[in-house]
């Protein structure tokens, strides 16, 4: 039995697989072509968001029994075709949901209280107090779009802030509780002071945050995206910022995260975003805490019944 690991994983996964008799091919830098060449004898494969597991890969994997996704979202895996071949596909969103939620909250608080901006000013020898007067999160209305693992984890954290949480999920209902009110998208856009996206990337969610969406916002909210970059239309986001339709944006994901491949238009948009005090961008690290690094492996192994 052979397992190909295509990403950096916690030692717990390597040790557990080896103990259970698997031959582990640890190849965190393997590319698509190399994967097709090596996958023929593999029983399992562990992936993240770096490689697409499409029909060509699956056809080359004559002995494949399972595909394990570290973290959330299976959009890069042709799950329908895999299922037709009897291949089990599992993910581990439970492993990094708390990390993502904490990161979103941290970015939001940094924007609302001008933490990053004022800290940078102090480094430059400037001590500005009135100009950096913050806005409290307490008492605000937070809208969560996509109420799965990370949306639920963020709601739990927000419960300490005396906020009203509104949540919209196109594919779920009857999830309301004392902590969260289930609403439609129009209601969320009308009342939310903060909007946080927690959806997988699908045809429905691609450029969900577009010009029409931003025009529907009534409270000039902060926008948070730690889901998938293409959920937010970057050009529309810039227009919303220019027109002061939103208070700011916290982005842990981008439409194109390979900065070295940027064309002129992408570079101009990125420079535009980075020039703004009310925009905070981090390099897709929301779900990448030390604890999540272990838990994603542990959850995946548990779901695969490899102990």
Give Cα separations from 255 to 117, 201, 232, 252, 260 (angstroms): 24, 11, 8, 11, 13
Report whether 244 contacts 217 (CB < 8 A). Answer: no
284 catalytic per annotation: yes
Angle at 97 between CA 47 and CA 120, to 5 degrees: 100
Angle at 201 between CA 198 and CA 205, to 5 degrees: 80
Report whether 220 contacts 245 (CB < 8 A). Answer: yes
Residue 136 CA, distance from chain mean position? 25
CB-based burial of residue 249 (10 Å sphere; 0-12 exposed, 13-18 middle, 19+ buried)? Answer: buried
CB-based burial of residue 19 (10 Å sphere; 0-12 exposed, 13-18 middle, 19+ buried)? Answer: exposed
**Other Cβ atoms within 10 Å of 307 Cβ, number:** 9
228 catalytic per annotation: yes
Instruction: Out of 228, 239, 244, 276, pick the active-site residue.
Output: 228
Instruction: Out of 190, 276, 284, 302, pick the active-site residue.
Output: 284
Instruction: Out of 50, 257, 267, 291, pick the active-site residue.
Output: 257
Spatial distance between the Cα atoms of 33 and 55, rounded to a whole number of angstroms: 13
Spatial distance between the Cα atoms of 12 and 2, rounded to a whole number of angstroms: 17
212 catalytic per annotation: no
> Catalytic residues, which ones?
228, 257, 284
């Amino acid at each position: 039995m052979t397992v190909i690991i295509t990403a950096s994983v916690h030692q717990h996964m390597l040790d557990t697989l080896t103990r259970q008799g698997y031959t582990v091919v640890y190849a965190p830098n393997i590319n698509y072509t190399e994967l097709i060449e090596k996958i023929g004898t593999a029983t399992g494969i562990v992936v993240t968001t770096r490689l697409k597991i499409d029909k060509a890969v699956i056809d080359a994997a004559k002995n494949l029994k399972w595909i394990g996704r570290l973290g959330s979202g299976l959009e890069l895996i042709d799950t329908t075709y895999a299922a037709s071949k009897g291949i089990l596909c599992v993910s581990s969103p439970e492993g990094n949901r708390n990390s993502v939620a904490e990161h979103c909250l941290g970015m939001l608080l940094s924007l609302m209280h001008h933490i990053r901006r004022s800290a940078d000013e102090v480094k430059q020898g400037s001590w500005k107090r009135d100009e950096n007067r913050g806005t409290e999160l307490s008492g605000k209305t937070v809208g969560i779009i996509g109420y799965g693992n990370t949306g639920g984890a963020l709601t739990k954290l927000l419960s300490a802030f005396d906020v009203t949480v509104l949540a919209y999920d196109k594919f779920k209902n009857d999830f309301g509780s004392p902590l969260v009110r289930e609403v439609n998208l129009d209601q969320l856009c009308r009342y939310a002071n903060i909007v946080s996206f927690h959806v997988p990337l699908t045809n429905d969610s691609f450029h969900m945050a577009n010009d029409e969406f931003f025009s529907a916002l009534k409270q000039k909210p902060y926008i948070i995206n730690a889901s998938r970059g293409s959920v937010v239309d970057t050009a529309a986001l810039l227009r919303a910022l220019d027109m002061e339709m939103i208070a700011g944006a916290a982005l842990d994901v981008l439409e194109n995260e390979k900065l070295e491949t940027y064309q002129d238009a992408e570079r101009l948009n990125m420079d535009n975003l980075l020039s703004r005090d009310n925009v905070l961008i981090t390099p897709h690290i929301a779900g990448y805490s030390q604890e999540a690094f272990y838990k994603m492996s542990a959850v995946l192994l548990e779901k695969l019944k490899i102990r």
